[in-house]
A and B are shown apart, each in its own frame.
Chain A
Amino acid sequence: QKEVEQDPGPLSVPEGAIVSLNCTYSNSAFQYFMWYRQYSRKGPELLMYTYSSGNKEDGRFTAQVDKSSKYISLFIRDSQPSDSATYLCAMSLYNQGGKLIFGQGTELSVKP
């Protein structure tokens, strides 16, 4: 079993839809949770960062962490064609100098 599980999709939605992306994990010691966005033929870039449980909102994006269920989510409101990319969840045990474990990534396509 992988440490971090993520449905690879692909996921296709119409413009304006609410998108929900999810990951589950097995290591309860993870403390730091991130979402990265990767456009085609580019490196991943940090989108959202959350420490421990709770919600964090940034514009149209909301990251949610439920440590009791070992489940994290990313919600995208009013999705745009420019949101079409692969979204990767990532998590770490430590704040400093620690390695990130990534999910497989979910490919999202937002149709105009």
Chain B
Amino acid sequence: DAGVIQSPRHEVTEMGQEVTLRCKPISGHNSLFWYRQTMMRGLELLIYFNNNVPIDDSGMPEDRFSAKMPNASFSTLKIQPSEPRDSAVYFCASSPASAADGYTFGSGTRLTVV
């Protein structure tokens, strides 16, 4: 199994530009999570999906952030327009039905907004 695949690995963009982060979860995993990690705030949950349906998006910081999961094998996180304070590492994780199996995280997308 290739694990959770995120792209791109690194993204540098100018303030005001649209940024799209992509995630392919592990086949058969029911849940998908988007996290943001910074030195100051640690790992913060942005949104999660169960069976492709958004369950909790209370962590999405602003309307500039949106996420979709059109099918079981693909999800996107979009920031439009991007701002320097969005600079962080964004992780996607997927999980099977049981929490005992844990989340499997992707390698993350390091976003820098200049």
| Chain A residues, CB < 8 A from B55 | 97
Interface assignment of B21: CB less than 8 Å from any CB of chain A? no
Contact A32 B42 (CB under 8 A): no
Interface assignment of A10: CB less than 8 Å from any CB of chain B? no
Distance, CA A108 to CA B33, complexed state (A): 26
| Chain A residues, CB < 8 A from B48 | 99
Q: Which of B64-72, B79-87, B94-102 contacts the other chain?
A: B94-102
Distance, CA A30 to CA B31, complexed state (A): 19
Q: Taking chain A's interface residues, is the majority helix, strand, or loop, or is none over half, making it mixed? A: loop
| Chain B residues, CB < 8 A from A100 | 33, 45, 99, 103
Q: How far apart are B112's CB and chain A's nearest CB, in angstroms?
A: 14
List residues of B (86-110) whose CB comes within 8 Å of A's CBs.
91, 93, 95, 97-100, 102-108
**Complex interface bits, A15-42 against B, C-beta within 8 A gives 1, otherwise 0:** 0000000000000000010101000011
Interface assignment of A72: CB less than 8 Å from any CB of chain B? no
| Chain B residues, CB < 8 A from A102 | 35, 42-43
| Chain A residues, CB < 8 A from B100 | 32, 49, 51, 95
Categorize the interface residue count of chain B.
20 to 34
| Chain B residues, CB < 8 A from A94 | 99
Interface assignment of B56: CB less than 8 Å from any CB of chain A? yes
Contact B102 A97 (CB under 8 A): no
Q: Determine which of B45, B105, B108 lies in contact with A45 in the assembled complex, contact meaning CB atoms within 8 Å.
A: B105
Instruction: List residues of B whose CB falls within 8 A of some A CB.
Output: 4, 30-31, 33, 35, 42-43, 45, 48, 50, 55-56, 91, 93, 95, 97-100, 102-108
Extra inter-chain contacts (13) besides given A34-B102, A43-B91, CB under 8 Å:
A43-B4, A43-B106, A43-B108, A44-B91, A44-B103, A44-B105, A46-B102, A49-B99, A94-B99, A96-B30, A97-B30, A99-B33, A104-B42
